[in-house]
Amino acid sequence: MTAAPEVARGSATGGVLLDAHNVTMQFGGLRAVGNVSMHVSRGEIVGLIGPNGAGKTTFFNCLTGLYKPTSGSVTFAGQPLPPRPRKVVYAGMARTFQNIRLFHNMTALENVMVGRYCRTKTNAIDAVLRLPRHRREEREATDRSRELLAFVGLEKKADTLSRNLPYGDQRRLEIARALATDPQLLLLDEPTAGMNPQETREAEDLIFRIRDLGLAVLVIEHDMRFIFNLCDRVYCLVRGEVLVEGAGDVVQNDPRVIEAYIGKPTVIEEDGNDA
């Protein structure tokens, strides 16, 4: 697959936000991600699919500073992305995890406020002395966090410990916490894993509403109906490499993608034996 020309990329949607070029992640002898190039434009919802072990989560880890890629480059809003999770968040990229990572002994509201603190300016002295700036920022963080809980549909669960929330609510809470960092791009790693069909539809609606706020979204998912309903473009990763990239309907009908998921079709010969 050849990358689209620089000028064409993202021109319809307001410019390229994330640009990963030839990203490779090698673990000893295992090349989990090999020469992956991918871009996400402002306002786009992009899907990342591929069988288990294809390297999707590892690629997310390379983008978000959990791993430093063995080679390749990542730019965000035109700037090289520093390989440090905290700096990635400051740059405007937030994520959720395939295995939910919440503070289990904190309430839903407190979990969202943790995300919010990366945008506050108070220092330790302000906090210890409870200076006006600290009090004002606390109030702002609480209000914004409540707003975000309402946005994901958890306003009534603000005071519930996150460990007591049902699984689907925990996934939505993780999204609220990510949104609290004011990202321009949200990365979601299997946001509907473990959800029932009703919750999956709600998650789809939530992601559309996030896009309508002006954010771009990059989403890993196994649920094909979900992906192809939602995404403007889809990348299919197989054994660490991009196998196919394109609009949803193109990727959906590509025989190589079908083969990657369910294997080659078996040819039945006329005598009824498998070939």
- Interface residues toward Mg ion, by CB under 5 A: 56-57, 98
How far apart CA 215 and CA 175 sit, in angstroms, is 13
Compute φ and ψ for 269, nearest 5 degrees.
-75, 165
Min dist CB 30 to ligand ADP, Å, is: 6
Q: Are 144 and 152 in contact (CB under 8 A)?
A: no
Nearer to ligand ADP, 52 or 198 (CB): 52
In whole angstroms, the minimum distance from the beta carbon of 56 to Mg ion comes to 5
Q: How far apart are CA 95 and CA 71, in angstroms?
A: 22
Q: Which two tokens stand for residue 269?
A: 């010969």
Closest CA to 237 of 261, 255, 217: 261
63 binds, among Mg ion, ligand ADP, none (CB under 5 to 8 A by kind): none
Q: Which stretches of the chain bind ligand ADP, using CB under 6 A?
A: 27, 30, 32, 50, 52-58
30 vs 268 by CB, closer to ligand ADP: 30
Cβ proximity to ligand ADP: between 56 and 134 the closer is 56
Q: Residue 13 touches which of Mg ion, ligand ADP, none (CB < 5 to 8 A by kind)? A: none
User: Which of 110/190 has CB closer to ligand ADP?
Assistant: 190
**C-alpha dihedral over 75, 80, 85, 90, to 10 degrees?**
-90
Q: Give the nearest distance from C-beta 38 to Mg ion in angstroms.
A: 16
CB of 57 to Mg ion, least distance (A): 3
How far apart are the C-alpha atoms of 100 and 189, rounded to whole Å? 9
